[in-house]
Amino acid sequence: MRRKWLSAVAATAFFIVGTTNVQAEQTVVHKGDTLWGIAQENGVSVDSIKEWNNLSTDLIHPNDLLEVSSPIKQVPVSLGDTLWNISQIYGVSVEDLKKWNHLSSDLIHPGLNLTVYTNKNEDVNVNEEAAPATEQMVQDHSQPTENPAPTEAAEQPETPVAAEPAGKEIMVEATAYTAECEGCSGITKTGVDLNANPDAKVIAVDPAVIPLGSKVYVEGYGYATAEDIGGGINGNEIDVYVKEHNDALQWGRKQVKVTIID
């Protein structure tokens, strides 16, 4: 795909009126589930699920009931409102608002109802246990959690650390690109249509370093799949796909860590 840098114009702000609350969604944890897998299925981040359920580690157990979305508000747009102003009021990002409402630009108009996922209330009650930093898979306990074996306590680290993706780690130079440039087809090397899937998490790679189809975690970008290549990408270089031109410009060129998960 060809890539072209473009500039974007920011929006300005003002007032919001009434909202309507909608119940958050929940899911039951099954044996073999991971937070990463549940996050991918529900289109949210691992950090969001941990925040909504007051989790301090990535450890979950069968039959846990997890919130997979925060409480939803339907916000009517009034004259003078902007995505930036709405995002500031509800403590979310403009990009999240655009993703939740399938918006391709920052333009909104009076009469539109926006879906806003707000911060989770503090009354959520989820079973949490200390776990080794590398533990991510759901464990099937044969004994009640309130009576752990003494040897388990001895094996726990004194200060649990949030688990990080496991896999081969490399340092790369990362730039960003969009599908909306003159001459761009919007189709990746592996056939992903970015115009039809603007929220896809995709990177372009040198297949000799990161094979096409690899699942990766990119520092500062998140979980993604290597779906594309580029003539200017050689060795330890990647291009991360972003939907908006101004996001590509803000990304710039930086050194980041990439974990090749699969």
Say whether pLDDT at 70 is over 90.
no
Rounded CA gap, 242 and 176, in Å?
7
- Specify the higher pLDDT residue, 2 or 105: 105
- List of residues 6+ apart from 193 with CB closer than 8 A: 186, 187
The dihedral built from the CA positions of residue 152, 158, 129 and 29, taken in this order, carries a sign that is: negative
Q: Does residue 141 have a pLDDT over 50?
A: no
20-34, 130-144, 241-255, range with greatest mean pLDDT: 241-255
All domains of the chain, ordered by start, with CATH?
Answer: 20-136+149-155 (3.10.350.10), 168-260 (2.40.40.10)
Question: Taking the model in full, what pTM does it have?
Answer: 0.40
Separation CA 71–CA 117 (nearest Å): 6
Tens of pLDDT along 165-222? 788 999 999 998 888 766 677 889 899 998 888 888 999 999 999 999 999 999 989 8
The per-residue pLDDT for 16 is 40
pLDDT tens per residue, range 17-47:
455 555 567 889 998 899 898 888 887 788 8
Q: Where are the alpha helices (DSSP H) in 77-211?
A: 83-90, 94-100, 150-155
- Alpha carbon 170 to chain centroid, angstroms: 21
What is the structure's pLDDT at 130?
A: 37
User: 31-35, 71-75, 146-150, 176-180: which has the minimum mean pLDDT?
Assistant: 146-150
